[in-house]
Amino acid sequence: MPDARRHRRLAILAEGHLNHNDAKTAVGILRYSDDRVVAVIDRTNAGRDVAAIVGEVAGRGVPIVADVGEALAYGPDTLLIGIAPVGGRLPAAWRAQLFAAIDAGLDVVSGLHMFLEDDAELVASARQRGVRLWDVRKPAPHFAQRIRQDLSHRPGSHVIYFAGTDCNVGKMTAAVELDRAARRRGHSSTFVATGQTGILIAGDGVPADRVISDFLPGAVERAVVPAAHQADWIWVEGQGSLLHPAYSAVTLGLLHGAAPDAQILCHEAGRTAIRHYERRAIPPLSQVQGIYEQAAAWLKPAPVVAVVLNTRLLSEDEARAAVAAAAAETGLPVDDPVRFGAERLLETVTSAVERLG
């Protein structure tokens, strides 16, 4: 069902998870997708406006409704399961909503670890009603079981990996912002998506955390090498963190599979520990920088050339102070492309990467 050309009209199912920490799929789609969000389903916030809950300008005027039945008034053609719970399973209570959507003729898109395609009742319903199911996290066949071959990238291409101090700090956002800024500047540029929200936005990509571990670097290589053949600037969405107690293997598979020329380190200002693993303090940025540079260099050197600081929780003054402090600590250029625009960061990064040769 992936079809980047079609502009969907989405109802996003976010039941009980519509806050900024959990709603990264909804926010990502609102900001960056060609699809239009016509309603968000969350019984606990029904009657309110999406912008009021997630603090996202793009959510203005998008109604929150109680269930699929109410969402139908806004003319959706697709139901998107718009949360990414730990473990990725489909809450049992949501299945009724899925059947209601299918009965109403909506396609269903899911980023869960549990595949809709493996649910015989859903599949039978969808077939009977003539609607489509898209499991965004299911690796496409050419990504599913491929061993990495250690291929080189086209000379002249620049592959940039977005490293993170943690999950959900803004790696995808930074990558999309830089890709768009590069295209606006007339660069040959592409974004390589590696998570469900990125794949929904780009219409294609590697669902990295769902690939069998033996094949993860091979899948990423299969995405990045052709991208570097076609474009000069390749912005590869990162996942997790090398410091993450649960997801470090996903991160390393992406880093080594992408074999970047340079990295951008992403962090959320004010976050002091790994989310859901509070006893795991996040070390100083300069130390995290060293860790990513070491790990990359086991196969190919890839210096960190900039820090992206997500300052969404700070005031404007606090944000400027945090940027200055991070710059002083790391000696690197630091910016927040969402708050301050991506143009200056793009200029900084492209200059630094071109100096690498």
Give residues in contact with its own copies (CB under 8 A): 86-89, 113, 145, 147-150, 208-214, 216-218, 242-243, 245-250, 252-253, 256-257, 277, 279-280, 291, 294-295, 298-299
CB of 337 to its own copies, least distance (A): 27
Cross-strand bridge partners of residue 160: 235, 262
Q: Which is nearer to its own copies, 4 or 277 (CB)?
A: 277
Q: Which is nearer to its own copies, 5 or 279 (CB)?
A: 279
* SS3 category, 7: coil
CB of 111 to its own copies, least distance (A): 12
CB of 147 to its own copies, least distance (A): 5
CA distance 107 to 80: 8
CB of 90 to its own copies, least distance (A): 12
Q: Which is nearer to its own copies, 178 or 211 (CB)?
A: 211
Q: Which is nearer to its own copies, 86 or 124 (CB)?
A: 86
Residue identified by tokens 């598979």 is 253
Q: Which of 277, 160, 285, 168 is nearest to 224 (CA)?
A: 160
Supply the DSSP string of 255-293, one letter for each residue. Answer: HHHH--SEEEEEEETT--EETTEEEEEPPPHHHHHHHHH
Q: Which is nearer to its own copies, 37 or 84 (CB)?
A: 84
Give the end-to-end CA distance of the chain in Å, rounded to a whole number.
40
* SS3 category, 239: coil
CB of 162 to its own copies, least distance (A): 17
Residue identified by tokens 């071959």 is 149
- Which amino acid, 159? V
Distances (CA, A) of 175 to 110, 216, 263: 22, 20, 11
CB of 40 to its own copies, least distance (A): 26
Q: Which is nearer to its own copies, 255 or 334 (CB)?
A: 255
- Which amino acid, 316? E
> In the structure encoding, which two tokens stand for residue 357, read together?
């040769």
